[in-house]
Structure formats: C-alpha cells, structure tokens
Amino acid sequence: MVPFGISLSGPAYGQQRGKGCSPALWKVKGLQEGELLPTRAGDRQGDGRKEVKKGFPGWEGVLRAVEMNRKHFCISEGWAMFRVQMDGRYSEQLEARIAVTGSNLCVGLDPRIEKHGNEIGEVERFLEKVVEETVDKVACYKPNSAYFEAMGPEGLAMLKRVIGRIPDDVPVILDAKRSDIGETQRRYAQACFEFFEADAVTINPFMGYDSLEPFLGYEGKGIYLLAVTSNPGSADLQRRESGGRKIFEFVGEFAERALAEQRAVDVGLVVGLTNAAEEVLAGLPDSPLLIPGLGAQGGDLSSLAGSVRSAPNVVNVSRGVLYGDEGTPGARANHYAMEISRAFRGAC
C-alpha cells in the first residue's frame, strides 16, 4: 500500500450525503496498476478510466467516481477530478493547496443569522452554497466560532457539519482565539482539533508560551498566534515597546521557538492588513501569516508589496465574499482571489 490520499472535486461536489454512501478506496489505472490507494475515507472501490500524469504538488487526472464519501458529501456516478497527495505538515498542506488553486484567498465563514430570517436552517443552506461556489477559488476557509456560538447548541452542531462538508484537501482554520492554561487549554485543543476537526486554530498568546503547549503536539495541525491585529486597539498593547522592542516581536519569538523545538504543529501569526506595514513584517519571522482586514475593514494590499516571504500566507475576506453588494459569493471570491494574486506577484 502506498502512502497517498486522494482528493476529489468537480461538478458532482456538493451532493448531500445519502443513505448507503460508504467510505472509499480507489483503484487508479496508470498510477499503481491493480493496487488500492489508502485514503482517509475508507474501504470501497472505484475504477480509474484515464491515465494520470505526474507533476507538483501531486498527480492529477480524471476518474469516474462510482461512490466517494467526502466527509459529509457524497459523489456518485459522475466524472471527478482527483489529486493524489501525501499528508504532511500543516504548512505543506496549505502550500500545496495554494499551488493547486493559484489562490491565497481565505474565505471567512462568519454567518449573520439576522440576514437569513433568524433561521438556522437558512444559515446552513447559505453556507453550503458559499462553499460550493467558492471551493475552487480559495486556499482555505476560516469559520469564526463566535457567530456559531451565538446561535447556541444548534449553531455549534452546525459548525461541525459545515467543517465536515469542506473537502479534506482544503485547510480549515477555526477562528476561536483560545487562551488559557493547563488542563483548560488542553480541553480547548481537544475541542478544536478532535471534535471540530479543524486543521488550524487562532490562539491568543498573551498568557505565555506555556499556554500554547497543549496545542503543540498535534501532528499535521497549525496554530496562528495573534501578533498584530487589524483593530486600532492593537496600538494599546501589541505595537507598544518594551525594552526597545515591540510586543508583537516577542510573539514572533514563540513561532521561532516552536520551530527550533521541532514541534508537531506549525506556528503562524495573525497580522491585520490595516497594520501590516513594512516595519511590522520586518520584525516578524518568516512564518505562515493569516492576514485579515481586506474588504469591509479597509485594508490595503499595497502594504504587502515590499514583503518577500517564503512561508505560505493567506489573506482573509469574510463579509466581502459572503455579503458583498454585487454578484454571487463565487464571483466575489474570484474578484478577491485575483486582487490578492496581483498583490502577491508584486511582492515577489
């Protein structure tokens, strides 16, 4: 058995999982003739109809999907694109996704129930549509737990279902900003990574490095530490000096320390676009950046033009994609993805 997993997407994506939809293994002709490739999905067989071609970051081709479980979605009896990829560290998974889509866009899933008649069912249907329309245009998704928590137990159950419907090869950053110590923080880590099955989580690091420890042992996962947020109040603490250095620089040292200690989790940083000045980026290590603030918050992508970084960075847009004035969520996501791409090309 070879250590590859298969990711599927295509016109059949988005069919609701139905009864009898089982997990799957795929036999792919031209890749490993006669061998089964293990996936996270399970134990069923499909058959390949086309030879595959080899290239970075995975092998790509077309197969006929007989039956395939994608978390809570099912693809059945239809042609689907597939990609074969090895599992790896979180930053590698994100980098591979960026390479496949050509997009550094992170779509924030921040549903406002009042815009949907205060009906939780309508919110869930809306988010399904958003993911279906944008999935080929994004590097990752970032559901903000506050919007789901505000809807009570049904909202939290919906959050788990929403994350479950996002294809496995699309990283999910749970924006929870958790912060505590010891056993309490361990429970937060368990909830985020084991119950909700997020790929990465935002963390408030201002209780110190030991507060990060419960998150650092999860293989293939990531955390993003609040370093310089997009609100004006970041000047009250994060951008203040202590001993001739900015507070956010000490947060950056946490990311460097985790790397030096060879922790299982990749540690990135949250840097708001409204405050992502050249001198701020220069004071931070070359770690993955989660950059909110484009769209409704008024961030300017030109601030990234002078930055040369090798780690995979993503720019988050929430309201601008979900509730923008013109077009569909898919069209708005495409607009922002292209705008971000132009800015990142200018930065290189």
What residues are labeled active site?
177
Helix intervals (H) in the chain: 90-101, 120-134, 145-149, 152-165, 182-189, 247-260, 278-282, 319-322, 329-347
Other CB atoms within a 10 A radius of the CB of residue 298 amount to 10
CA separation for the pair 127, 117 (Å, rounded) = 14
Phi, psi of 119 (to 5 degrees): -110, 115
- Torsion, Cα of 20, 22, 27, 31 (10° steps): 130
Contact indicator for 135, 12 with CB cutoff of 8 Å: no
Take residue 40 and report the two structure tokens written for it.
Answer: 């996270």
Helix axes 152-165, 120-134, angle to 10 degrees: 20
- The DSSP annotation for 158-224 comes to HHHHHHHHS-TTS-BEEEEEE---HHHHHHHHIIIIIIS--SEEEE--TT-GGGTGGGTT-TT-EEE
Cα separation, 53 vs 59, whole angstroms: 6
Question: Token pair 């069919």 is at which residue?
Answer: 15
CA distances from 116 to 111, 121, 323 (A): 9, 9, 11
Helix (H, G, I), strand (E, B) or coil at 333: helix
Lookup: tokens for 71: 């978390």
Q: 332 in helix, strand or coil?
A: helix
Q: CA nearest 201: which of 219, 213, 215, 214?
A: 215
- CA-CA-CA-CA dihedral for 114, 115, 120, 125, to nearest 10: -170
